[in-house]
Each structure stands twice: as structure tokens, then as C-alpha cells.
Amino acid sequence: MKNKNLFFKEIFTENKIKNKWLFQLATCLLLNIGIMIIGSTFSKSSINYIYILIFSLLSISVMLFIYYIVILIFSKIFKSDVENKEIFISSVSIVCIITAVKIIVSIIQLIFSIDTNKYDLLSLGIFNDKNVLLSSIDFYMLLSGYLLTLSFYYVSKFKLSLSIILGLTFIFLDVIFNFIFNSLNQAIM
């Protein structure tokens, strides 16, 4: 896998991004603010920019914390000699890539006037919004599992098979948590 041309491989193999993590984090925040503004254009209420800024900061922080903790825990369990700074930089890269994909999808939905609060084009729930299992599976979780696999392999220096197993486990657990959340959300409504 070292010589393959995989998407986003360079982000995890090159150490030159160490100086760009703050720029990536600021970019993630700005992209997330853009996603929130696009989502609020479909809302009936007025736009509260303070709420958008606070929620963007909170969501980026939570995503960053989750990916950092997942990579850190497995790196410690499997005794990887990776530094915490490299794990943090890898987590920032993962969050930035996922946020960039989300803003692209949000812009497409805005262009075609598809309500981002009701529909997610990258979710299987677009085919049947009543099906909780389909709504629990989307492209973002597949992308995050792939990016975690790359991070485990290139940053934590795990074996390829272990990296793939951990990435698939993350996807599986993400589907389960989304299914539980969507089931509870549908029961409330």
C-alpha cells in the first residue's frame, strides 16, 4: 500500500503538514460556518450568526476530539511510537477533509434548492427517509473510516490488516450509534 496512489495518502505520509495544522483548523472552522449558513438559509427563522459561530466551534471541537481520542487510544493499545502531535495533526486533517466534502455537498444542495435540514444527498436515507437503517448509513462515515485506516497505517505505523480492521470497526460502530440516534429521533417525532 506504500506505493499505491490512494486518495489523501500524501496528507498522512508527508511531514510537511506539521506547520499547516493551524491553517487547516481555521479552514475547517470557516467551512463549517459556511455549512451552517447554507443550512440556515432553508430555515424559517432568522439567522443568528453568534449561534452559528458557537455551534461551528463546538462541532469542530467535538469531531476533532473524537478522532484524536480514537487514534490515541488504539495507538497506545497497540504500542505505537507515534507522537501526540502527529496524532493531533492527523485528526485535524481528517476533520478538514470531511468538512470540505460536507461544504461541497451543501453547496450542491443550495444550488438545486434542496433543503439541507431535511435531506442529505450522501445518505442512503435519501431513497427512503422512513427507513432508519438506511438513514444511518452515509458517505461521511465511509470516508471517516477510510481516513482513519490511512491514519492508522501511515501515522501510527500499524500493519495494513490491523488498520483495515480498525477502520471497518469504526464504520460498524458509527452505523450502530447512528441507528440508535435515528431510532430515538424518529420515536420522539
Low-confidence ranges of the chain (pLDDT < 50): 16
Residue 3 in domain: no
Residue 75 in domain: yes
pLDDT (0 to 100) of residue 44: 64
Which residues are paired to 138 by β-bridges?
A: 123
Residue 143 · residue 101 · CB < 8 Å: yes
Residue 177 in domain: yes
Its pTM stands at 0.84
pLDDT (0 to 100) of residue 3: 54
pLDDT (0 to 100) of residue 15: 53
Residue 156 · residue 148 · CB < 8 Å: no
Q: Name the domain count of the chain.
A: 1
pLDDT tens per residue across span 113-127? 887 777 778 887 777
Domain holding 129, by residue range, is 9-188
Give CA–CA dist 37/43, Å, rounded: 10
pLDDT tens per residue across span 81-94? 888 888 998 898 89
pLDDT (0 to 100) of residue 47: 66
Which residues are paired to 123 by β-bridges?
A: 138
Residue 4 in domain: no
Residue 1 in domain: no
